[in-house]
Amino acid sequence: DAEITQSPRHKITETGRQVTLACHQTWNHNNMFWYRQDLGHGLRLIHYSYGVQDTNKGEVSDGYSVSRSNTEDLPLTLESAASSQTSVYFCASSERVGTEAFFGQGTRLTVV
């Protein structure tokens, strides 16, 4: 069965370190998204991609970057981790605009 997987599931890192969260999907979807989930804010879009070599900023993109070198993967990089980036991160993919998105299990990141 097709799926979308995130790794690691849990990560503790120190302030100032670079961190990369992996997202891999086997749906062959063009659209991929990164969200963060925080109490009181719901899900907020960080970055998204509509295909290989395409990346776009979401509403909370500062301090984050993504790259899309193939269809299956959209890694999220925190250039210099800050305590404000402690959150649960979700990756999602969808077939095309307007269709449902499929979510990974999430990565809980703690920055100390």
Partner 1 sequence: GDSVTQMEGPVTLSEEAFLTINCTYTATGYPSLFWYVQYPGEGLQLLLKATKADDKGSNKGFEATYRKETTSFHLEKGSVQVSDSAVYFCALSDRSTGANSKLTFGKGITLSVRP
Contacts with partner 1, residue ranges (CB under 8 A): 33, 35, 40-43, 45, 48, 50, 58, 90, 92, 94, 97-106
Least Cβ distance, residue 80 to partner 1 (angstroms):
26
CB nearer to partner 1: pick between 16 and 38: 38
Nearest to 22 by CA among 7, 43, 10: 7
CB nearer to partner 1: pick between 14 and 96: 96
Least Cβ distance, residue 16 to partner 1 (angstroms):
29
Q: Strands of the chain (E only): list them.
A: 4-7, 10-13, 19-25, 31-38, 42-51, 54-57, 64-66, 76-78, 87-94, 101-103, 107-111
Q: State the Cα–Cα distance between residues 52 and 43, nearest whole angstrom.
A: 24
CB nearer to partner 1: pick between 23 and 81: 23
Least Cβ distance, residue 14 to partner 1 (angstroms):
25
CB nearer to partner 1: pick between 14 and 49: 49
Q: DSSP label at 76? A: E
Least Cβ distance, residue 69 to partner 1 (angstroms):
20
Neighbours of 18 (CB within 10 A): 10
